[in-house]
Amino acid sequence: MNEIRLIVDSSSNETEQTNRNLKVVPLKINLAGKDFVDDNKIDLPSFLEELSQTTEAGKTACPSLQDWLDALEGAEKAIIVTMTSGLSGTYASAMQARDIYCEQNPTSKVIVVDSRSAGPELSIILERIEELLQEELRFVDLEERIAQIRTKTHLLFILQSLHNLAVSGRVSPAIVKLASLLHINVIGQASKEGTLEQLAKARGSKKAVKELVKQMKLEGYHGGRVIIDHCENKVDSERIRDLLIEEFPFAQILIRKTRGLCSFYAEQGGIMVGFES
Ligand code: X90
């Protein structure tokens, strides 16, 4: 079934890859009056510079209907994986696009998956979908199989600042209050509903890293796939990797940088860890 187009939004920290038949639909970020499109062309170093310099509240926008329609154009079958509907209109706009596209192209079939997550968990879901597509499955059976995959994928994160999440009203005031304390790292997870849920707090990043690994094991991690995405925090990402390798020598761990959207919300030092239980 390799004629199926895969589409994710840029919250996944993925970039377009034609060899994977993968398209990435960008979100948009407005920082200090400048518009950034979170696509392959975004200049990440200058975006991060702008992010650290500005004192004004920035804002983001989900992909438009047309952005999704452009990504679907010409596809007979497609699977779209979006970031959580609990924090963004991205899933809703993808659903609208699917309805319009399938009305205009009655033989086309499109599945839209609400990841209830963001960042590297989307990439893990995507990898598992690619494996599924190697099997001789009927397209109608895919939705159920993807739902099964979803029960085993998770996202944990460490945030050093919750400023942009707070300003945009995407995190509860109680968590914001806690994170405003100096050197406090918030360790949390994508909840079942696809919102931010705090699990623990830690003073200093070494403790935060240990806590995150502990929480991963509590979530049932036992040596499977891990993708660590970070916003300018390679050191702690490698610490997480090393702690995991100590216990699970065969773990397949990939470290990547967050792209625009996740850099904006996870902020400097932020780490997102997608994994399988
Ligand atoms: O404008 C928009 O529609 C985009 C809104 C995005 C909101 C949140 C993105 C969060 C990314 C923060 C840590 C992980 C939290 C994941 C919880 C599901 C990074």
Look up the pTM and report it.
Answer: 0.96
Q: For a pocket test of ligand 1, which of 261, 268, 271, 273 has the largest count of ligand atoms closer than 8 A to its C-beta?
A: 261
Q: For a pocket test of ligand 1, which of 64, 165, 232 has the largest count of ligand atoms closer than 8 A to its C-beta?
A: 165
Q: Does residue 43 register a pLDDT over 80?
A: yes
Beta strands in the chain (DSSP E): 4-9, 22-25, 28-31, 34-37, 59-61, 77-82, 109-114, 153-159, 184-190, 196-203, 226-230, 253-257, 271-276
Q: What's 63's DSSP letter?
A: P
pLDDT digits (tens, 9 = 90+) for 87-145: 999 999 999 999 999 999 999 999 999 999 999 999 999 999 999 999 988 999 999 99
Residues with C-beta less than 6 Å from any ligand 1 atom: 27, 60-62, 84, 87-90, 117-118, 155, 157, 170, 190, 194-196, 262, 265-266, 272
pLDDT digits (tens, 9 = 90+) for 64-95: 999 999 999 999 999 999 999 999 999 999 99
